[in-house]
């Protein structure tokens, strides 16, 4: 299966999502598809042996849409992205600049005429005679309907041909009916006399509705572009060239020519072009665009650096480990794009409502026209009933356009995901962002999550031999091992000047320690479990109540040395736990470490619940137990042993400093393993969901109030009728208000 995030052209409204999703989903080999009007993209998962992007494109072109040819995430994307924005914006701006002054002028003329009808003695008659004004209105409305309103005009045609109704369908039918009725009455006076039509024509309705909606869409598009700032900023981080050392010569190459293993020079002030490891030199790196942290990070030989970050002062050389689409930056861009285009459960509910809403509105509008003709004509002349019926039908079709409903969720998701990315919180999908606000319990790993994850030697005690001799034996036995504790002992011994001796018959004892011979003498190094296996008594001073991890050097039945190792608690851990507790989150620490170490870390951080000696299955079992209590559970971890619990959690959080397995199994990744960002992520989720609910409330309230008014339910009693022109203006700006409310998320502190 392949997954692509593809730019879609021709999307005019939120209903376009439904059309695109349904038509693509029917193609063979398509596993899933999710279109987003807010981001104008589609996430498609498909089997390339059964279908292709080209085949999908051919299907969509029948309905007025098209796909961009998919490309990998590279430097061209940035220019393509900006060019697409610029082109679309220029066209929309030209239409808006032409239509807006005319729309405002015609709207004011409508207000003037309405005012004169209600207050004839106070407000004079409109200065332009109707026999002059009406032909001008016909000409202008023709331009508006067939040029500016082409997307709206084509929507009813697609509905007739393919049965696909969208929001533009409502506007298209409404403005077309108003135009055709007015044109028939004006151009064929006999028709007007036959139906006893009133004096008023509705060319102004066509002009004002299309004009205001065009203005609204332009303002909406400008606002939507601001929701994609995170993507644009990330794309702007990509570097086009790199200074590469090849054959002893310094060459400036296109970033596409850099390969893994190349030595790349980075000078002060330059952006790092590729992922790599420093081989020579030191510097401070500004990683704020990836992590949200303002302070530069000191880097030296052996440290990893990421593409897109900025070298602040020193010069250094890196060995490329990730280029092109394999860099962390490219991964983040892809992740954000896919996440912004994904749909939360609450959005899928809105989509279902929209899919039912549009055809329902068409039925309501038709029934309203019939009701005016059948019932209204019994009380007023048939021509007046027909005229009012048309006005009411057009008003319903215009006011009911659920653009605001369609934009309510995706715009908030886009801003929320973008804000998370700019603060070092990578959210893989919208569902995770929604679920996170309901989390009430967090199971958090100790080593590498709450602690630094780099154990260090704190103390060494010897019996019968000198410390230097013990360190040399430990150094020789632990150096071949890849265990983190063994590495810490070997590094400590090396720093103390220990001598490295030859080891014969070396044996790694998984989960217990190491064994080998030095100068014909047999030694073993390991923890309490190895002592038990060898039948050696555990020293009383080194029981499991000690928060440090003891490692023993053993010869026969004798303990020659005891090394105490401790993992440092992260500086931000205590404050992070406190923030989570204040947010109403039940924090449970789960670790494979012994009781004493677990108890010590928990007490230091104020964690009341913890599980020691926890195997991967134990962590997963705790997740299931909490879920059985009715709690939404999040799991935060960084190791392979955390993967089962991460997969079983409602929301999974991984440290970017951890293993690839844990990152792949998680919904959210915290850059640089900063656990303080867990509470920030929860707050971001709550703010995003609050914004979505606000948007949905106003979108529904707008339609609930507007449709009955447009149908004319108050007209028989109070003479009140919502003009289609006012309906068009209100509909247009309701969409803008929803997007603007979503953009408020950018200003919120998390």
Q: Note the pLDDT tens digit of each residue in 410-445.
A: 778 878 888 888 888 888 877 888 889 999 999 998
* 582: pLDDT strictly greater than 80: yes
Cα 58 to its chain centre, rounded Å, is 29
- Mean pLDDT (whole number) for 130-149: 89
Of 180-194, 398-412, 635-649, the one with minimum mean pLDDT is 398-412
| Average pLDDT of the chain to the nearest whole number | 80
| Angle, CA 522 vertex, CA 593 and CA 546 arms, to 5° | 25
**Lowest-pLDDT range, 50-54, 151-155, 602-606?**
151-155
Res 375 pLDDT > 50: yes
Would the pLDDT of 463 be above 70?
A: yes
Q: Which residue has the higher pLDDT, 427 or 510?
A: 427
Phi first, then psi: what are they for 321, rounded to 5°? -115, -15
Q: What pLDDT was estimated at residue 329?
A: 75
pLDDT in tens, 61-120: 887 788 875 443 333 343 333 444 444 556 678 888 898 899 888 878 877 876 777 678
Residues of the chain above pLDDT 90, percent: 18
pLDDT exceeds 90 at position 683? yes
User: Residue 493 — pLDDT band, cuts 50, 70, 90?
Assistant: very high
Least confident of 312-326, 597-611, 724-738: 724-738
pLDDT tens for each residue of 707-741: 888 888 888 777 777 766 666 667 666 777 887 88
pLDDT digits (tens, 9 = 90+) for 472-490: 999 999 988 767 678 889 9
Which of 273-277, 614-618, 643-647, 728-732 reaches the highest mean pLDDT? Answer: 273-277
SS3 state of residue 4: strand
Strands 30-36 and 41-46: antiparallel
- Which one, of 7, 111, 92, lies nearest residue 56 by Cα? 7
What's the pLDDT at 79? 37
Question: Does the pLDDT value for residue 56 go beyond 80?
Answer: yes
| Three-class DSSP category at 664 | helix
Among the ranges given (92-96, 349-353, 704-708), the one the predictor scored with the smallest mean pLDDT: 349-353
Confidence of residue 543 (pLDDT cuts 50, 70, 90): very low
- Average pLDDT, stretch 158-183? 75
Q: Are 154 and 172 in contact (CB under 8 A)?
A: yes
Higher pLDDT, 37 or 659: 37
Active-site annotation, residues: 445
Long-range CB contacts (< 8 A, 24+ apart) of 54-61?
55/27, 56/24, 56/27, 56/30, 59/23, 59/24, 59/27, 60/8, 60/10, 60/20, 60/23, 60/24
The number of CA neighbours under 13 Å toward the Cβ of 290 is 27
Q: How far apart are CA 637 and CA 263, in angstroms?
A: 34
The predicted pLDDT at position 73 comes to 38
Instruction: Identify whether the C-beta of residue 333 lies closer than 8 Å to the C-beta of residue 327.
Output: no
**Is pLDDT larger for residue 265 or for residue 175?**
265
Among the listed residues 567, 471, 566, the one whose alpha carbon sits nearest the alpha carbon of residue 525: 471
- Number of Cβ within 10 Å of residue 705's Cβ equals 13
Cα(509)–Cα(532) distance, rounded to whole angstroms?
14
Cβ count within 10 A of residue 408 = 31
- Split at pLDDT 50, 70, 90, the class of 16 is confident
**Across the chain, which distance is largest between two alpha carbons, in Å?**
121
Give me the percent of the chain exceeding a pLDDT of 70. Answer: 81
pLDDT of 3 reads: 78
On the question of pLDDT at 585 being above 80, the answer is yes
Give which of 225, 671, 177 is closest to 395, Cα–Cα.
177
How many angstroms from the chain centroid is the CA of residue 169?
30
Most confident of 141-145, 388-392, 641-645: 141-145
For residue 439, the cross-strand partners are 632
Q: Mean pLDDT lowest for which of 366-370, 493-497, 676-680, 695-699?
A: 695-699
């Amino acid at each position: 299966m392949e997954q692509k995030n593809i730019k879609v052209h021709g999307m005019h409204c939120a209903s376009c999502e439904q059309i695109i999703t349904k038509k693509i989903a029917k193609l063979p080999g398509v596993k899933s598809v999710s279109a987003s009007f807010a981001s104008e993209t589609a996430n498609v998962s498909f089997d390339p042996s059964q279908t292709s992007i080209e085949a999908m494109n051919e299907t969509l072109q029948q309905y007025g849409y098209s796909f961009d040819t998919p490309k990998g995430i590279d430097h061209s994307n940035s220019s393509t992205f900006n060019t697409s924005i610029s082109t679309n914006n220029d066209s929309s701006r030209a239409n808006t600049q032409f239509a807006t002054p005319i729309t405002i002028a015609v709207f004011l003329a409508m207000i003037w005429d309405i005012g004169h009808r209600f207050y004839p003695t106070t407000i004079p008659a409109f200065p332009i005679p109707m026999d002059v004004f009406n032909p001008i209105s016909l000409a202008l409305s023709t331009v508006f309907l067939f040029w500016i309103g082409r997307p709206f005009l084509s929507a009813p045609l697609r509905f007739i041909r393919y049965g696909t109704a969208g929001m533009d369908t409502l506007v298209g039918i409404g403005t077309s009916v108003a135009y055709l009725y007015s044109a028939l009455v004006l151009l064929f006076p006999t028709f007007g006399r036959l139906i006893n039509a009133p004096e008023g024509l509705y060319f102004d309705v066509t002009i004002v509705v299309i004009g205001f909606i065009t203005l609204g869409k332009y303002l909406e598009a400008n606002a939507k572009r601001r929701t994609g700032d995170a993507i644009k900023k990330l794309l702007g981080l990509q570097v086009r060239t790199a200074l590469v050392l090849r054959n002893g010569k310094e060459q400036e190459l296109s970033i596409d020519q850099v390969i893994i293993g190349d030595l790349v020079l980075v000078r002060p002030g330059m952006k790092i072009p590729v992922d790599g490891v420093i081989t020579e030199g030191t510097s401070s790196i500004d990683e704020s665009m990836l992590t949200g942290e303002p302070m530069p990070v000191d880097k030296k030989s052996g440290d990893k650096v990421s593409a897109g970050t900025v070298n602040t002062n020193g010069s250094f050389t890196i060995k490329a480990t990730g280029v092109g689409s394999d860099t962390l930056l490219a991964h983040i861009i892809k992740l954000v794009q896919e996440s912004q285009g994904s749909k939360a459960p609450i959005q899928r509910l809105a989509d279902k409502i929209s899919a039912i809403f549009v055809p329902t509105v068409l039925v309501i509008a038709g029934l309203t026209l019939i009701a005016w003709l059948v019932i209204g004509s019994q009380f007023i002349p048939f021509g007046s009933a027909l005229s009012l019926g048309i006005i009411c039908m057009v008003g319903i079709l215009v006011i009911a356009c659920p653009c605001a409903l369609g934009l309510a969720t995706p715009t908030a998701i886009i801003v929320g995901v973008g804000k998370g990315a700019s603060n070092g919180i990578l959210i893989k999908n919208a569902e995770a962002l929604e679920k996170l606000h309901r989390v009430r319990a967090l199971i958090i790993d100790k080593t590498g999550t709450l602690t630094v994850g780099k154990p260090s030697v704190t103390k060494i005690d010897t019996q019968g031999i000198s410390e230097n001799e013990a360190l040399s034996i430990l150094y020789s036995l632990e150096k071949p091992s890849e265990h983190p504790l063994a590495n810490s002992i070997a590094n400590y011994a090396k720093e103390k000047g220990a001598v490295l001796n030859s080891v014969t018959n070396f044996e790694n004892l998984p989960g217990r320690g190491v064994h080998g011979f030095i100068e014909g003498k047999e030694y073993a190094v390991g923890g309490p479990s190895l002592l038990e296996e060898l039948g050696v008594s555990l020293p009383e001073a080194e029981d499991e109540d000690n928060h440090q991890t003891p490692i023993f050097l053993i010869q026969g039945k004798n303990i020659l040395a005891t090394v105490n190792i401790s993992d440092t608690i992260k500086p931000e851990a205590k404050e992070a736990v406190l923030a989570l507790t204040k947010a109403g989150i039940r924090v449970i620490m789960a670790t494979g470490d012994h009781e004493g170490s677990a108890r010590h870390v928990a007490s230091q951080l104020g964690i009341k619940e913890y599980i020691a000696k926890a195997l991967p299955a134990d962590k997963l079992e705790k997740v299931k137990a909490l879920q059985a209590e009715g709690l939404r559970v999040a799991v935060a971890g960084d190791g392979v042993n955390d993967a089962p619990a991460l997969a079983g959690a409602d929301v999974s959080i991984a440290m970017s400093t951890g293993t690839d397995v844990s990152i792949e199994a998680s919904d959210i990744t915290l850059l640089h393993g900063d656990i303080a960002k867990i509470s920030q992520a929860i707050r971001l989720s709550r703010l995003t969901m609050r914004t979505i609910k606000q948007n949905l409330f106003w979108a529904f309230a707008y339609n609930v109030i507007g449709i009955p008014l447009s149908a004319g339910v108050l007209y028989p009693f109070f003479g009140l009728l919502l003009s289609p022109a006012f309906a068009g203006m209100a509909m247009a700006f309701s969409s803008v208000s929803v997007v603007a409310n979503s953009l408020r998320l950018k200003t919120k502190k998390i």
